[in-house]
Amino acid sequence: MKRLYIVLLFLMPLLLAAQSHWQLGLSGSYAMPNNFNMMEYARASVGFDATWYSRQTGSDYWRLRKHYPAFGVRGSFAFIPNAIYGHRFGVVGLVQAPLGRWVDYHLGLGFSSYTRPQCLTGDEENIFISSILNCFIDVGFDLRLGERYALIASLLHSSNGMLRFPNKGLNFLQFGVAVKLGNDYEQQMDWLHSRDLIDTQPAFDRTEWNIAFSPGTVMSRDTDFSGYYFCYDLAVTLQHYVSPTFAFGGTVDLWYNFCDTRHLEREEGVYNVPLYVSAMAMMEFFWGPLSVKAGAGPVIVASPQVTTPFYERAGAYYNFGHNFIGVAVNAHGGRVEFIEWTFGRRFPAGG
């Protein structure tokens, strides 16, 4: 109980400088398995959600560095007809911030559960969701239609990160409409004033290169092998800043996963695992010195162990000067591969 009081005391300044409201949404989505060979289990779904937001509207520091972020909690339900994994319940903690006068982005992380979490597909290796409680990720964009309504597009991922075997995971491509209930908080945003403050920071209006080296650890998904193995990644990113809080671009990754060596030695004798080559589209979101980066893209060169040639990365970083450090999760088709620890540097690309 004492810890709860400490957390509430820490959050009090944010809540006092905020305008809160509720948002109700209706949506349609398409549930897609991570494994492309199992698309026969893809299903359309409909759902609804309720979100409580607390938007910051305080000092010029918030307007410039935080760009009016909103922190919230979203509960949702998706009705998925004839799905062997049942229907989905979810709850996530959200951060939402504007990209422009009419467009927001949101990032959410939380938990999900299904009404038939251990339903088999007929093959023991093809259980989609093998645990009652799963990780739930929600990334998307909101197009504001006036002060009350918004169109929302989201990509959601649900799995347990292979913490329980087997677990293929599910992805949802979701579109919906939402209505805001409560005070007219959009009138408090004073967007033009915020824009004037941003224009005084020309350093943010740029294109840059990021060079990052990331050693990491990976635990084998093969139950015949135990322990941890090393993985190394060299990432080269070109990204452009839209505002002080948002940049987008592309990354080329060169990486080496020693975990695959054990599999291939068992199956094929002496074998050299190739240098992986992959490319992803990525986005980076900033809050002062902190940032969150997420991206996804195809694996161009890989070992035979990679059955799903699609990978994702999501991580949190601390920026100081032209340098940054951080930690991220690298996954194939939503299946966590390894945890990477990153050191990188930013270089202006001109323009």
In angstroms, the CA 344 to CA 145 distance is 39
Q: For position 345, what pLDDT does the model report?
A: 92
* Domain residue ranges in the chain: 2-193, 201-348
Q: What are phi and psi of 246, to 5 degrees?
A: -150, 135
In angstroms, the CA 231 to CA 311 distance is 15
More confident residue, 66 or 82: 82
Whether the per-residue pLDDT at 12 is higher than 50: the answer is no
Whether the per-residue pLDDT at 192 is higher than 80: the answer is no
What string of DSSP letters covers 137-186? Answer: EEEEEEEEETTTEEEEEEEEEEE-TTSSSS---EEEEEEEEEEEEES-GG
- 133 confidence band (pLDDT: 50, 70, 90): confident
Q: For position 151, what pLDDT does the model report?
A: 94
Q: For position 11, what pLDDT does the model report?
A: 42
* Distances from the Cα of 132 to the Cα of 38, 85, 233, 314, 334, angstroms: 21, 11, 33, 24, 17
* CATH of region 2-193, choose from 2.60.40.10, 1.10.10.10, 3.30.450.20, 2.40.160.20: 2.40.160.20
Q: For position 184, what pLDDT does the model report?
A: 54
SS3 category, 58: coil
Whether the per-residue pLDDT at 79 is higher than 90: the answer is yes
Q: For position 7, what pLDDT does the model report?
A: 41
Q: For position 56, what pLDDT does the model report?
A: 59
* Distances from the Cα of 80 to the Cα of 30, 31, 85, 116, 263, angstroms: 9, 8, 9, 11, 37
Whether the per-residue pLDDT at 202 is higher than 50: the answer is no
- 322 confidence band (pLDDT: 50, 70, 90): confident
Q: For position 235, what pLDDT does the model report?
A: 94
In angstroms, the CA 47 to CA 26 distance is 6
DSSP conformational letter for 198 = H
* Same-fold call for 2-193 versus 201-348: yes
231 within 8 A of 257, measured Cβ to Cβ: yes
Q: State pTM to two decimals.
A: 0.62
308 within 8 A of 334, measured Cβ to Cβ: no
Q: What CATH number is given for 201-348 in this structure?
A: 2.40.160.20
